[in-house]
Copies of this chain bind each other. A is one copy, B any other.
C-alpha cells in the first residue's frame, strides 16, 4: 500500500497537519517533533502525492510547450534548439515541461483554453503559431500566463519573444550586395507566420533602399520546409532573368537550394550566392558551408521560459514584448 501523510502522522503520533508543515517548511513545528517526523519520512521513503497537492494548491509546477502536431518534430533543429533553451531554464526553476502537440488545422477558438481548463499547467509556451490562429485571442482574454515564441503580435494582452527578423533579412541583402551580387532572389518562408512575413518584408525593403531590381519571378515560397523549397526553387531557374544570389528565409530551404544548384552544375558562391536564416546545426557542415543570419534560438527559448516564470510568479505583468538581436555569420556560400 501507498504511504500517505496520514501514515507518517500516525507513526509520529501527530496530526497530518504537523507533518504537512514539516514537509513544506511552513509554520512553526517544535524542532524535536520536526526531527522525529523527518526521520519517519526517511524511513518510510515517503514522497508527497503531487496530484493531491496540486488539487488543493492549484499549482502543478508544470508548464506546457505547445508544438504543432507533426511527425518527427524534434528532427527540426530549429525546434530542438528552442526546446533546449526552455528546458535549460525550467531546470533552474524546478518546473517540469509537458509537450502538447496541437493540430495545425484546428481552427477552433477554444483549442488552447481547453488545455488551460484542464488545470494541469501553470503556464504555457507556444511554438510556431500562425498569424491567424483563432485560439490566441481568446486565450489572451484569460489570466492564464503564456508566451509566444518567434511570433510578433503587439497587443496589451499578449507576450512574445521574437528575433529581429526584418533587420535580419536586411542584413542578408546588404551582405549579398556588398559581395557584388545584384540580382537577388528570395525563397520566402511561411507567410502564415510573422517571422516569414517579416523576413520577406525586410528583403523587399532593402532591395528598395539599395535601388535593386525587384521581380516577382524572383520570389518563391518554401513554407520553411525543405521538401517544398526544393521543389519551388526550381522556378528560380526558369526565370527570364536568372538571379545571381538568393536570400532564403530559413536554412533548410537554403540547403535544398544548394542541392538544386549543384544538380544544375552551377557553383556556390561563384555563380549563385546563398544566404540562409536561423543558423541551425547543419549550416556549418554543409558544403559549401552556409552564410546565414543567426537568430539566437536557444536564447529565444530561455527568454520565453524566463518571461513565463515571471508571469506565473507574478513578478511581472503582461504585456512583455521582447526582440532579440540577429547577426550575420559569414561562411562559404557567399
Q: A-side interface residues toward B, CB under 8 Å?
A: 2-3, 45-52, 54-55, 60, 62, 69, 71-75, 77, 80-81, 83-84, 87-88, 91, 96-101, 110, 113-114, 117-120, 255, 281-282, 285-287, 298
Number of copies: 2
**In the complex with contacts A75-B281, A96-B98, A50-B118 CB distance below 8 A:** yes
On chain B, the residues within 8 Å of A45 by CB distance are 110, 113, 117
Q: Which 8 A-B pairs have the closest CB atoms?
A: A47-B117, A74-B80, A74-B84, A287-B287, A50-B118, A72-B84, A98-B98, A49-B119
The answer for the CA separation of A137 and B77 in the assembled complex, in Å, is 35
Chain B nearest CB, measured from A79 CB (Å): 8
14 contacts between A and B (CB under 8 A): A45-B117, A47-B117, A50-B120, A51-B51, A51-B55, A52-B55, A55-B55, A62-B98, A72-B84, A73-B84, A74-B74, A75-B77, A96-B100, A97-B98
The answer for the CA separation of A196 and B90 in the assembled complex, in Å, is 30
On chain B, the residues within 8 Å of A97 by CB distance are 98-99
Chain B nearest CB, measured from A300 CB (Å): 13
On chain B, the residues within 8 Å of A77 by CB distance are 75, 77, 80, 281
Contact A75–B80 (Cβ < 8 Å):
yes
Chain B nearest CB, measured from A303 CB (Å): 15
Contact B282–A72 (Cβ < 8 Å):
no
**In the complex with contacts A97-B99, A118-B50, A286-B285, A83-B87 CB distance below 8 A:** no
Contact B69–A74 (Cβ < 8 Å):
no
Contact A118–B84 (Cβ < 8 Å):
no
On chain B, the residues within 8 Å of A281 by CB distance are 75, 77, 281-282
On chain B, the residues within 8 Å of A101 by CB distance are 87, 91
Contact A51–B48 (Cβ < 8 Å):
no
Contact B87–A73 (Cβ < 8 Å):
yes
With CB as the reference atom, state the residue of chain B lying closest to A283: B285
**In the complex with contacts A49-B119, A119-B50, A75-B84 CB distance below 8 A:** yes
The answer for the CA separation of A98 and B298 in the assembled complex, in Å, is 20
A62-B98, A71-B88, A285-B287 known, 17 other contacts, Cβ within 8 Å:
A2-B117, A45-B110, A45-B113, A45-B117, A49-B117, A50-B119, A50-B120, A51-B54, A72-B298, A74-B74, A74-B81, A74-B83, A75-B81, A91-B101, A96-B100, A98-B99, A285-B285
On chain B, the residues within 8 Å of A83 by CB distance are 74
The answer for the CA separation of A301 and B248 in the assembled complex, in Å, is 33
